[in-house]
Amino acid sequence: MFASFSLETFRLGLSSIRLHKLRSFLTTLGIICGVGAVICMLSIGEGASEAEMALIRLLGTHNVIIKSVKPQGGGDVSEARSQLLEYGLTRFDLALIRETIPHVKQVIPLREVAFEVSYAANRFQATVVGAPPAFFQLVHVGLSEGRFLTDLDNATNSQVCVIGQEIRNRLFAFEDPLGRVVSVATQTGMIPFVVVGVLERVATAGLPARGTGERDLNTDVFIPMSTADARYSDLQIRISTGTRDYSRVSFSDFYVEVDSLEQVLPVSEMLKAALASKHTKQDYVVLDGVEGPGMYMGTVIGVRALSGDWWGEGEMKFYLDGDTEFPTICGTGAEDYFLAAYGMYEFQTPYHGCTLNLTDDFFKHPLVSMYRWHGPDPIYFNQSLKATIQQIGYRPGALFERSDDWCSTAFWYQIKPISKVPPFPDREARTAGILDPNKPWKKK
């Protein structure tokens, strides 16, 4: 019964299709187009997702990338001045990250040392980068020909290089690049490098919207880091249309590999704080955003001096009741504000003193803690209060700006409720970089 009913239904369906051929054709066409559109959209979405995943794999899900950013301005001979612009990541930064930031597996530094390569009569604007062998594994880039840089290349200062696909196409369009010699410009002439490898064509290693500067591996030439150190100084000179731009930068990038995905964000915050303390070169803000009336009663300040020479020439400033550029009260140096008169040493009185002045084996850098109570001389304000101290040091012959690691506690009274309270960092962030992990106490 059911079989005959199904057969009759099928026959009626075929008869209906034959009677209404155009309508049947349009219906079928609509179904095909609809299904095809869905398949196309899914394919486009999957393709876009794969492209994004390729970028993420290139960046590395466990990697934090730090770049040197050139500030505006520089040395321009055409304007009748010879000014050297110093900026960017330094060797001290590299040691600071390796020795003091927790959860870091390795730090891969890169050095941009030249910006033009040539082969025979062909020249190409490219970035010549000093890199350790581990860089290629860290960013998961493959080879199309030849080999990567090796530890032996690095140990022997070899004049070999690995080039990107775009350079291969521009300089070696009709020949095998392996074993060919490219020339890289220096301040004193040209240096030959033998091509030992060619990278696969890869997507760029980042976009500004993702917080990393763009590095197009297709237009880079990679040489051993030891060769870059031996052959090139930190001084860079770029010549274009009759002008010369002088700059001094030690490293262009740090690729920081974190030991787990959960620690990437905390480590990036610690890196930001550690490098900001070294590079900011701005007045340290003790207190800000206070609304009057009220009175300021005291300061406790701790300093971790990150470089040599004397650190305490900065002036303590109090901006009262709408002060902007110039403060109402401006001191003559940290040593004077804490009433040490000359230098800093451990001493204690009821209203001022230095309770800590350590340079022993437990600490990577000197640690100083000072206090000043304004009981006899409170600082009154009616509308607003901001307190800062300059980061200025002294070396024989001159004062200079510096960036140290500061912490502080301010004491004041105010009538209005407090409306702005900054977030309080956790213990790991507060102690990052203070204790030296290489000292014997950690092994006990």
Predicted pLDDT at 398: 78
Highest mean pLDDT among 152-161, 278-287, 387-396: 152-161
- Is the pLDDT reported for residue 242 higher than 60? no
d(CA 229, CA 223): 10
Q: Where are the beta strands (DSSP E) in 259-404?
A: 284-291, 294-304, 316-320, 329-330, 347-348, 352-358, 367-373, 379-381, 384-389, 392-395, 398-401
Q: In angstroms, rounded to a whole number, what is the distance separating the alpha carbons of residues 38 and 17?
A: 26
Q: What's the confidence (pLDDT) of residue 389? A: 93
Confidence of residue 299 (pLDDT cuts 50, 70, 90): very high
More confident call, 363 vs 109: 109
Class of domain 280-443: mainly beta
* Higher-pLDDT residue of 41, 374: 374
The one-letter amino acid at 185: A
pLDDT at 218: 87
pLDDT bracket for residue 73 (50, 70, 90): very low
d(CA 132, CA 300) in angstroms, rounded, equals 44
Higher pLDDT, 240 or 393: 393
Instruction: Name the pLDDT band for 211 (thresholds 50, 70, 90).
Output: very low
Q: pLDDT of 336-376, one tens digit each?
A: 999 988 888 899 999 999 999 887 655 567 889 999 999 99
Which amino acid does the sequence have at 270?
M
Whether 209 has a pLDDT exceeding 70, the answer reads no
Interval 127-137 mean pLDDT: 91
Parallel/antiparallel/unpaired status of strands 160-163 and 190-199? parallel
Is 331:341 a contact under the CB 8 Å cutoff?
A: no
CA distance linking residue 284 with residue 403, whole number of Å:
9
Out of 74-88, 251-265, 328-342, pick the least confident: 74-88
**Domains in the chain: boundaries:** 12-58, 62-274, 280-443
pLDDT surpassing 90 at residue 186: no
d(CA 15, CA 21): 10
User: How many Cβ atoms sit within 10 Å of the Cβ of residue 237?
Assistant: 14
Nearest to 221 by CA among 119, 89, 292: 119
Ordered DSSP codes for 149-173: --HHHHHTT--EEEE-HHHHHHH-T
Band of pLDDT at residue 300, cut at 50, 70 and 90 = very high
pLDDT classification of 324: cutoffs 50, 70, 90: confident
* Ranges 8-12, 79-83, 99-103, 370-374: which has the least confidence: 79-83
Q: Pick the more confident residue, 374 or 277.
A: 374
pLDDT at 110 over 90: yes
What's at 135, amino acid-wise?
Answer: F
What angle, rounded to 10 degrees, do the helices at 2-19 and 21-59 form?
100
The answer on pLDDT for 210 being more than 60 is: no
pLDDT at 213 over 50: no
193, β-bridge pairs: 182
Considering Cα of 418, then 422, then 425, then 429, what sign does the dihedral take?
negative
Name the nearest CA neighbour of 199 among 154, 149, 158.
149
User: What rounded mean pLDDT belongs to the chain?
Assistant: 80
pLDDT at 377 over 90: yes
**With bands split at pLDDT 50, 70 and 90, how would you rate the model's confidence at 179?**
very high
Residue with the bigger pLDDT between 119 and 426: it is 119
Q: Which of 254, 252, 249, 253 is nearest to 234 (CA)?
A: 249
Top-ranked range on mean pLDDT: pick from 19-23, 49-53, 239-243: 19-23
- Quick one: pLDDT at residue 107? 93
Q: Residue 265's pLDDT is what?
A: 87
DSSP 8-state assignment for residue 89: B
Q: Which of 141-150, 297-306, 355-364 is predicted least confidently?
A: 355-364
Three-class DSSP category at 67: strand
Q: What is the spatial distance between Cα 218 and Cα 395, in angstroms, rounded to a whole number?
A: 45
pLDDT at residue number 98: 87
19: Cβ contacts below 8 Å, ≥ 6 apart = none
**Which among 6-10, 65-69, 382-386 has the top mean pLDDT?**
382-386
Query: Looking at per-residue confidence, does 287 or 78 come out higher?
Result: 287
Query: In the predicted model, what is the mean pLDDT of residues 95-99?
Result: 85
pLDDT of residue 361: 54
Q: Among residues 437, 440, 444, which one has the least CA distance to residue 99? A: 437
Q: What is the pLDDT of residue 212?
A: 37
- Residue 435: both structure tokens together: 């204790």
Q: Has residue 439 got a pLDDT over 80? A: no
pLDDT higher than threshold 90 for residue 51 = no
Q: How far apart are CA 399 and CA 413, in angstroms?
A: 35
Between 137 and 81, name the one with better pLDDT.
137
